[in-house]
């Protein structure tokens, strides 16, 4: 990986379970590192994810964030089940809401967040991937929501996001069987954006991210926001949100530059204002 500086050298606290590098293209590579636990999400990782995201979004030189897992076995193999022992129903509800809040922060990011799924993406790991804006998976990856095997259901937004990303029928099958599915099947049902050979995963993900960073940053952020808000309302209200945002973009210098560049047959130079 080509890096400018680790995130801790650019003002962010050092993390216990995350490694973050920002490369020369402005891509922030956020790697969850608990390899002995197959990068399982515990409470510390969840909090660090939120802190890292908030910090990265504040950097002007970060144009996209790529989340992946350490090693080649797992993206994130689920939540850390050891933390479930002895929880009361009220405490379990609080755990669920904390996870939902952190993943909602990822989903609401104004810069693109891409999950690079390099292995198992199960339970909370798949829920994390679904909160990202795009998902690129290795053909060797396995995905699923096995919580019913523990007498539970997904608790970090999985029942809601999987339904929206695929279909109610697909979501029901994945959730109530608890089965694991191949990357090819995940791609077929629309859950995974792209699949590729393991050796091509980093390059494929970086190319996808870089293609987005060449576009108008305000337009990209606005599009992500309008899509997210539109999923929460009916189509008519969603189209009103879209029209408002479309009109507001005509007040930006980027829109003027984009139109001028198109007419002059040159590449635009977006400044993010």
Catalytic residues, which ones? 127, 147
Query: Which tokens go with 189?
Result: 């049902």
Q: HSE (CB half, 13 Å, CA atoms) of 25?
A: 18
3-state secondary structure of 215: coil
Instruction: Report how far residue 33's alpha carbon sits from residue 22's, in angstroms, rounded to the nearest whole number.
Output: 17
Instruction: Report how far residue 117's alpha carbon sits from residue 140's, in angstroms, rounded to the nearest whole number.
Output: 9
- Kindly state the DSSP code that residue 1 receives in the 8-state scheme: -
Query: Which tokens go with 182?
Result: 């191949």
φ/ψ of 180, rounded to 5, equals -95, 145
φ/ψ of 120, rounded to 5, equals -60, 130
For residue 55, give the nearest of 101, 13, 1, 116 by alpha carbon.
13
- Got the DSSP string for 98-158? HHHHHHHHHHT-SS-EEEEE-SEEETHHHHHHHHSSEEEEETT-EEE--GGGGT----SSH
Q: HSE (CB half, 13 Å, CA atoms) of 16?
A: 8
């Amino acid at each position: 990986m080509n890096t400018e500086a680790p995130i801790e050298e650019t003002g962010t606290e050092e993390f216990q379970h995350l490694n973050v590098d920002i490369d020369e293209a402005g891509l922030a590579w956020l790697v969850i590192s608990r390899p002995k636990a197959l990068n399982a999400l515990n409470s510390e990782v969840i909090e660090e994810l939120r802190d890292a995201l908030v910090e990265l979004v504040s950097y002007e030189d970060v144009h996209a964030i790529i989340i992946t897992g350490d090693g080649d076995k797992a993206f994130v193999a689920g939540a850390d089940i050891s933390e479930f022992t002895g929880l009361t129903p009220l405490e379990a509800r609080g755990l669920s809401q904390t996870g939902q809040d952190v993943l909602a922060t990822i989903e609401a990011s104004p810069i693109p967040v891409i999950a690079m799924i390099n292995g198992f993406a199960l339970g909370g790991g798949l829920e994390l991937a679904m909160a990202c804006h795009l998902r690129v998976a290795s053909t060797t990856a396995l995905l699923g929501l096995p919580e019913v095997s523990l007498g539970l259901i997904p608790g970090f937004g999985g029942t809601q996001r999987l339904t929206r990303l695929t279909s109610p029928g697909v979501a029901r099958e994945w959730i109530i069987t608890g089965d694991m599915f191949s990357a090819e099947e995940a791609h077929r049902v629309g859950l995974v954006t792209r699949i590729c050979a393991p050796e091509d995963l980093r390059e494929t993900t970086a190319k996808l991210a870089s293609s987005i960073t060449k576009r108008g940053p305000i337009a990209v952020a606005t599009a992500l926001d309008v899509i997210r808000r539109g999923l929460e309302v009916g189509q008519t209200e969603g189209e009103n949100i879209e029209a408002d945002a479309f009109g507001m973009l005509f007040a930006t210098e980027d829109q003027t530059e984009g139109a001028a560049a198109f007419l002059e047959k040159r590449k635009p130079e977006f400044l993010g204002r």
